[in-house]
Amino acid sequence: MSNSPITAVSNPPVQPVSADLGPRDLKRRSATLDLPPPERQLTEVAKLIDVSKCIGCKACQSACVEWNDTDPGVGENVGVYENPGDLNPNMFTLMRFSEWVNPETDDLEWLIRKDGCMHCEDPGCLKACPSPGAIVQYSNGIVDFIHENCIGCGYCIKGCPFNIPRLSKADHTVYKCTLCSDRVAVGQGPACAKACPTQAIVFGSKEDMKAHAEERIEDLKSRGYENAGLYDPAGVGGTHVMYVLHHADKPHIYSDLPDRPEISPVVETWKGAVKYVGLAAMGIMAAGAALHGLIAKPSTVKREDEEHAEALVEEAPKNGEGV
């Protein structure tokens, strides 16, 4: 696999290449207790989205629909620029627009953010997933949903700190951005990066992308955006989709991008303590009952109990004579 950034400007070779990303490259696999370590360490990849260069043309959305062969249907005007109105099982990425008045300059800033899976290093979706192998993470950092293993429970939706996965009513499985794992497997960059006319989206090794981001941040700072910075949130171990933000001190102004994303403590408790304590409690209960059954003597009804009952019934007023 090529390690150099693959964007619209650096075209990859066009001769056929066999896919080089598979089960032996898995670093994490959902609901799998004994995953062997990956056979090799692939170069960590990343997609870098420079929001300051984005013109909101939605070419990336079109490219995504085309490459993934999805059908988001004919859009509906819901009174905002977003189209469709939200991510859905057929739309893995979405340009989100917000109008923000900068309190320092009183300027209206039109903030455009390409929303989609962040490919977290510590993915909450994968942690929440109960189905073995329905969500995997490759050693290059890509988090992918394997649809034939997906059972449609929607646990990943609760696990994700970014509100990304969407459940399909058509096939009852969950969809999200794959970081074009099928393209990366053959040395190509993601379709969105390929289509972006301003190179606001670039793709390559995570290291290269961070270096490239540094240059962009320096440029933005020189132009007065003193809070420009990289969004690679540590709370989820960093991400394999990163943003260059001109206001990196307040990510939330970009259509509610979480300031400090992390896997919810509620999810951690549910997938952690509850499982251990729960299995132990049920086990102790079952073992206790079995043991008591073996050791203790059962409560049995004696002959004299039956005789007492018979005597009681003899003495009782007969039907109709009762009180």
Partner 1 sequence: MASSSDIQRGDAIHPGDPVIVSRYTTPKRINHWITATSLILLALSGLALFHPSLFFLTGLFGGGQNTRWIHPWIGVVLFVSFYIFFFQLWRANIPRKVDFVWAAHAKDFLAGNEDKLPELGKYNLGQKVVFWAMAALIVVSIVTGVIMWDQYFATATAIPTKRIAILIHSIAAVLMICVFIVHVYAAIWARGTLRAMTRGTVTGGWAWKHHRKWLRDLAGHGRIDPAE
- Measured CA to CA in angstroms, residue 159 lies from 78, 154, 164, 252, 253 at distances of 28, 9, 10, 20, 23
CA atoms within 13 A on the CB side of 48: 30
What tokens does 37 get? 């370590």
> From the CB of 130, what's the least distance to ligand HEM, in Å?
5
Rg (CA), the chain: 29
Spatial separation of the C-alpha atoms in residues 59 and 191, rounded to whole Å = 10
What tokens does 256 get? 């509610």
143-145 vs 201-205, strand pairing mode:
unpaired
3-state DSSP assignment of residue 179:
coil
Q: Phi first, then psi: what are they for 98, rounded to 5°?
A: -140, 145
Residue found by looking up tokens 């005597």 in the block: 311
> From the CB of 153, what's the least distance to ligand HEM, in Å?
4
Q: Which is nearer to partner 1, 40 or 169 (CB)?
A: 169
Determine if 164 is a binding residue for ligand SF4 (CB under 6 A).
yes
Q: Which is nearer to ligand SF4, 59 or 174 (CB)?
A: 174
Question: Could you tell me which of 121, 172, 171 has the C-alpha nearest to residue 143?
Answer: 121
Quick note: the x/- pattern for partner 1 over 231-260, rule CB under 8 A, is: ------------------------------
Pick one of ligand SF4, ligand HEM, partner 1, none as the site partner of residue 101 (Cβ within 5 to 8 A by kind).
none
* Eight-state DSSP code of residue 235: G
Feature table: binding site for [4Fe-4S] cluster: 54, 57, 60, 64, 117, 120, 125, 129, 150, 153, 156, 160, 177, 180, 192, 196
| Residues at the site binding partner 1, with contacts judged by CB under 8 A | 31-33, 130-132, 149, 151-155, 157-158, 163, 167, 169, 172, 264, 266-267, 269-270, 274-275, 277-279, 281-282, 285-286, 289, 292-293, 296-303, 305-310, 312-323
| Residues at the site binding ligand SF4, with contacts judged by CB under 6 A | 117-120, 123-125, 143, 160, 162, 164-165, 176
Feature table: binding site: 54, 57, 60, 64, 117, 120, 125, 129, 150, 153, 156, 160, 177, 180, 192, 196
